[in-house]
Structures are given as structure tokens and as C-alpha cells.
């Protein structure tokens, strides 16, 4: 048995589904860089399956959170869905099932670290879900995606607030408490052009409440805002994904 065939069989075992059309699975794993280097007249990559899978993942996630939290508002459900289906979140799911090991990349993309790129990983995850939908139907795709989403439920309690934008949450909390509007200031910027590190502080009036770093000014500001929120709510804050966390409270008023 070839190495590639073993990888496909391991992936099928993880999915809990043996493909009737193995070609669909192979297509889902084929990045455009690999298809281009194959020199075929009509190179077959996973972009169409990614297009389909994007909608399938979105529908499954929407139903999953709708049924899991029937008491939540549309806004809260939208935040949960957005946090679970973001590019970063899907890339994490791809790594969790070792999809990064199975993707077929072109030599150039391989050398550039393509297996670690979140856009490639997220795209492959969506393509895989699309292939699973076509081969096994909606129920097969739903069982796969929901099985991965289950782990995100554990820290979420009924009296919690979902946050996927720390800056907006901090501003809302400060307004309700009658505090000064948060002000963000860039303190330093270091590193080569392709890998800059930004240090940002957030102040409430004259008081610096948090500092944090990030790969962009925007990311550093979000991280600083999250730190500020942690100074207010402490252990009531629990992360549920790479881009979202919850505050165990009935509302966003200060404790």
C-alpha cells in the first residue's frame, strides 16, 4: 500500500466515512499549486469543493448553535457561528484531524510553508466537507462537523456573553459603567517588514489598564482590550475559539 493511500484511509477513518468516490476525496485534498504543477490540460483542484463546503459548514454550524442554545438571541448565535467558522477556527479543526499532513501541495508552496498557512488549511477543511456532502449526503457532513463543534460547547453556560470583538465589548462596558472611552496607543513597532511585532497600550483616562503585542496594530489592540477585560472579569472569561471568548455573566455590566 502506498503512503498516499494510507493517508487517505487514515483520513476516512477520522471522518467515519469510506468514500464511494475516492476521486472526490483526492480532489478535496488537491491545492491549486499541486494541480498547476501536474501539467494536465484541465488541472483539478479543490476550489469548487471549497466553495460548496463553505455553505455546508455554514448551514451545519448555524443549525448546531440554534439547537444547542434555543434561548440565545440572533446576535449571540451569529457571534457563536462566526467564531466557529472563521478562517482561523477552521484551520485549527483541520490540524485537529491532521488534514495538514494529507493536503497535496505544489513544490513551491511546500517550500513556502503552505502546510501551516491558515487560508490553505481552512480551504481544505471546507473542500473536505463539501466532498463528504457530495459522497455521503448532508447527514454524513453534519455528523463530521458537529462532532468537532461539540468541544466548543463545554465552557459555554446559559448565563454567558459571547465576545468576538474585545474592543467593542470593552467600549460598551466602559460606557455602561460611566468610565472614560478606551484609547489605544502604539508604543513600539519592531522586527523585519514581513514579520513586524506591534506593542499597544490601552488607557482609560490617565490610567494604562493593559498592554499587549500582536502581528498587526489591529491584533495588538484586540489583545490589549482582551487583557483589560480580564482585569475586570478575571476567571469569568473563558476562550472558546481562536477569535472568541465568553464572559460568564448575565450582561456586560462590571461585576
Structural element, H or E, at residue 162: strand 161-163
Q: How far is CA 110 from CA 31, 103, 117, 118, in A?
A: 11, 10, 10, 14
Residue 36 has what pLDDT?
Answer: 80
Q: What is the secondary structure of 187-228 as a DSSP string? A: EEEES-GGG-EEEEEEEETTEEEEEEEESSHHHHHHHHHHHH
Cβ–Cβ < 8 Å for 149, 68: no
Q: State the pLDDT at residue 1.
A: 44
Predicted confidence at residue 43, as pLDDT, reads: 59
Q: Are 94 and 86 within 8 A, CB to CB?
A: no
Q: Which of 34, 59, 58 is nearest to 46 (CA)?
A: 34
Tell me the catalytic residues: 54, 126
Q: Which residues of the chain have pLDDT under 70?
A: 1-3, 39-43, 152-160, 242-243, 250-253, 255
* Cβ neighbours around 9 below 10 Å, total: 13
**Structural domains in the chain plus CATH codes:** 3-152 (1.10.1520.10), 161-247 (3.30.160.20)
pLDDT, position 156: 65
Question: Which of 208, 241, 205 shows the shortest CA–CA distance to 85?
Answer: 241
Amino acid at each position: 500500500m502506498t503512503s498516499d493511500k494510507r493517508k487517505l484511509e487514515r483520513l476516512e477513518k477520522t471522518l467515519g466515512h469510506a468514500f464511494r468516490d475516492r476521486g472526490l476525496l483526492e480532489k478535496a485534498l488537491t491545492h491549486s499549486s499541486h494541480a498547476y504543477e501536474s501539467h494536465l490540460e484541465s488541472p483539478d483542484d479543490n476550489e469548487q469543493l471549497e466553495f460548496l463546503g463553505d455553505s455546508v459548514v455554514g448551514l451545519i454550524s448555524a443549525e448546531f448553535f440554534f439547537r444547542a442554545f434555543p434561548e440565545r438571541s440572533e446576535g449571540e448565535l451569529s457571534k457563536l457561528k462566526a467564531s466557529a467558522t472563521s478562517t482561523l477556527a477552521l484551520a485549527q479543526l483541520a490540524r485537529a484531524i491532521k488534514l495538514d499532513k494529507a493536503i497535496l501541495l505544489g513544490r513551491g508552496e511546500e517550500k513556502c510553508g503552505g502546510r501551516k498557512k491558515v487560508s490553505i488549511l481552512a480551504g481544505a477543511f471546507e473542500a473536505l466537507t463539501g466532498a463528504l456532502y457530495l459522497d455521503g449526503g448532508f447527514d454524513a457532513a453534519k455528523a463530521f462537523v458537529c462532532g468537532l463543534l461539540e468541544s466548543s460547547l463545554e465552557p459555554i453556560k446559559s448565563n454567558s456573553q459571547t465576545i468576538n470583538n474585545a474592543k467593542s465589548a470593552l467600549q460598551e462596558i466602559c460606557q455602561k459603567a460611566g468610565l472614560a472611552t478606551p484609547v489605544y496607543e502604539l508604543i513600539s513597532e519592531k522586527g523585519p517588514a514581513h514579520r513586524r511585532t506591534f506593542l499597544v497600550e490601552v488607557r482609560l483616562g490617565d490610567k494604562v489598564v493593559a498592554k499587549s503585542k500582536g502581528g498587526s496594530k489591529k491584533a495588538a489592540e484586540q489583545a490589549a482590550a482582551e487583557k483589560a477585560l480580564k482585569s475586570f472579569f478575571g476567571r469569568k472569561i473563558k476562550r472558546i475559539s481562536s477569535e472568541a471568548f465568553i464572559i460568564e455573566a448575565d450582561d456586560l455590566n462590571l461585576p
